[in-house]
Amino acid sequence: MINEHEHFMRAALREAERAAEMGEVPVGCVIVHDGRIIGKGYNQRESLQDPTAHAEVIAITAAAAYLGSWRLEDTRLYVTLEPCPMCAGAIILARVAEVYFGATDPKAGVCGTLMNLLEDERFNHQPALYPGLLEAECGAMLTGFFQAIRAKNRQDRLN
């Protein structure tokens, strides 16, 4: 039996698949309120040519529009990759209650890897943090994506 948290992380993985289909880094995010998804997003930096078009920012915007409020106090955010500084800041400012993430990000993750912005008591809000949800699946999607890019680049150099 799949638990509720896995169910929502699988929804985030489906969003990540949408990003991969577009050639974007496969990161997906959903935001849940009262047991239902009210916001979802996937990386769209390349297609929108927007450095802020991360999955979390897109999902936060959608959830705020759904609720008619920027305060996402009673929500849970599920994202396939550990949030970066920009996304962690947006999560704090939106007052998301809980954050679940899959794979850690050794280059930009600030929810425990490089630092932990979400649990920094100097901010006026600290969401509860739950790392490692479906970590292997989330990580495998990212690893496969980058391996395919490297293989294509090698093949292009040979041609």
- What pLDDT, on a 0 to 100 scale, did the predictor assign at position 7? 97
132: alpha, beta or left? (left if phi > 0; alpha if psi -120 to 50): left
- What pLDDT, on a 0 to 100 scale, did the predictor assign at position 74? 96
- What pLDDT, on a 0 to 100 scale, did the predictor assign at position 1? 56
pLDDT tens profile 89-127: 999 999 999 999 999 999 999 999 999 999 999 999 999
Alpha-carbon gap, residue 88 to 69, rounded angstroms: 19
Q: Is 82 a catalytic residue?
A: no
- What pLDDT, on a 0 to 100 scale, did the predictor assign at position 157? 78
Residues of the chain whose pLDDT is less than 50?
none
Beta-bridge partner residues of 77: 31, 99
pTM flag (> 0.85): yes
Of 15, 24, 56, 82, which residue is the catalytic one?
A: 56
In three-state secondary structure terms, 136 is: helix
Alpha-carbon gap, residue 77 to 50, rounded angstroms: 22
98-103/75-81 β-pairing: parallel
Report whether 57 contacts 41 (CB < 8 A): yes
